[in-house]
Amino acid sequence: MSPSHLRRALTAGLMAALVSVVPARAETLDKVMFGTNWVAEAEHGGFFQAVADGTYKKYGLDVTIVPGGPNENNRMLLIAGKIDFFMAANTLMSFDAVANNVPVVTIAAVFQKDPQVMLTQPDAKVAKIEDLKPLTLFVSKEGMTSYFQWLKSEYGFSEKNVRPYNFNPQPFIANPKSAMQGYVTSEPFAVEKAAGFKPNVLLLADYGFNTYSTLIESRRDVVEKKPDLVQRFVDASMVGWYNYIYRDNSAGNAMIKKLNPEMTDELLAYSVAKMKEYGIVDSGDSLKNGIGAMSDERYTSFFNKMVKAGVVKADLDFRKSYTLRFVNKGVGAELRPSKP
């Protein structure tokens, strides 16, 4: 080899060595603000997991989660442009946005099943949802304007036995002939701790209340002008949910407990177990299309039920409330165990 060829070979080898030991310049991450609708809890776990284990960063995002709470209104921050994404409770919020010309759109549905349940005491003779009719029913104000209207139209329930539910289980515990609303991931746990018995659980989703829950919303201008950012946020969030539900979720739980010290390891484990047992996150369409899945058929079915129940008006253009552009791609599905 000639001296000149040797020098070039040595130079090339030196450069290759430098590339291997000098880290690449850090990619600039897109800053994203995501607001939840309540304090940190397992029901938000996939989002915290994606922050804590670096999934968002892998997708080029620097995500800050802004927890909600009783005195917070993160949806207003979304509308005002202060945050980029918001976690809405259910599909009825999306319909309401259209009815009131609020410029937000649903881009993914994390929960295939709404966690809403009715609880009864073990001695109550309740095997199906119709068996609740003769009982005293503790229902919140929000419940009366949503799922209870569906119970009336679909199953013939009456308001005569309804009493206000103020998120205190004691009236239910004191009355063996009563039923109480709750979330499958939390209230049964609280009742068992307070009363020493395991309540019977009826998940309304299993009886036809087929709203999506834990939706991701964004403003229409963000969806139209930054579709790549939206897609990366949705994809990374779904990967976070697969990891939280099926894999090591200790990083996400540590972040939740730091933000909300009332969350214990026992309650977090219980909530995750119930999400898996009842298929809250991963069932139905998500088994084929991935967590976050949505469909026109499902939206149409729920809309028709809400029209029948008198909750929404029949002329509402409900298809404006959502887009399927960013879901149904199976992102992260390889993380699901062969037998979820």
Q: What is the pLDDT of residues 297-313, one digit of tens each?
A: 999 999 999 999 999 99
* Predicted local confidence at residue 338, as pLDDT: 86
* Predicted local confidence at residue 17, as pLDDT: 37
Question: Average pLDDT in the 105-131 region?
Answer: 96
Q: What tokens appear for 113 in the block?
A: 């099943």
As a whole number of angstroms, the distance between CA 254 and CA 235 comes to 22
pTM (2 d.p.) = 0.91
Least confident of 23-32, 235-244, 285-294: 23-32
As a whole number of angstroms, the distance between CA 234 and CA 65 comes to 14
* Predicted local confidence at residue 125, as pLDDT: 86
3-state secondary structure of 169: coil
As a whole number of angstroms, the distance between CA 69 and CA 171 comes to 24
The pLDDT tens digits of the residues spanning 181-212 come to 999 999 999 999 999 999 999 999 999 999 99
30-114+211-335 and 116-207 share one CATH topology?
A: yes
* Predicted local confidence at residue 71, as pLDDT: 87
The pLDDT tens digits of the residues spanning 75-85 come to 999 999 999 99
Instruction: Return the CATH number of the domain spanning residue range 116-207.
Output: 3.40.190.10
Q: Where are the alpha helices (DSSP H) in 175-324?
A: 187-195, 220-225, 227-246, 250-259, 265-277, 286-289, 296-308
In 3D space, the residue among 301, 292, 278 whose CA is nearest the CA of residue 329 turns out to be: 292
As a whole number of angstroms, the distance between CA 288 and CA 293 comes to 9
The pLDDT tens digits of the residues spanning 226-273 come to 999 999 999 999 999 999 999 999 999 999 999 999 999 999 999 999
How many helical (H) and strand (E) elements, i.e. helices and strands, does the chain have?
Answer: 15, 10
Residue at 116: amino acid letter = Q
As a whole number of angstroms, the distance between CA 157 and CA 140 comes to 15
30-114+211-335 under CATH 3.40.190.10, yes or no: yes
- By DSSP bridging, strand 104-111 and strand 200-203 are unpaired
Q: What tokens appear for 3 in the block?
A: 């001296």
As a whole number of angstroms, the distance between CA 138 and CA 167 comes to 9
Beta carbons of 274 and 203 less than 8 angstroms apart: no
Q: Domain extents for the chain?
A: 30-114+211-335, 116-207
In 3D space, the residue among 190, 218, 199 whose CA is nearest the CA of residue 108 turns out to be: 218
Most confident listed range (69-73, 122-126, 275-279) = 275-279
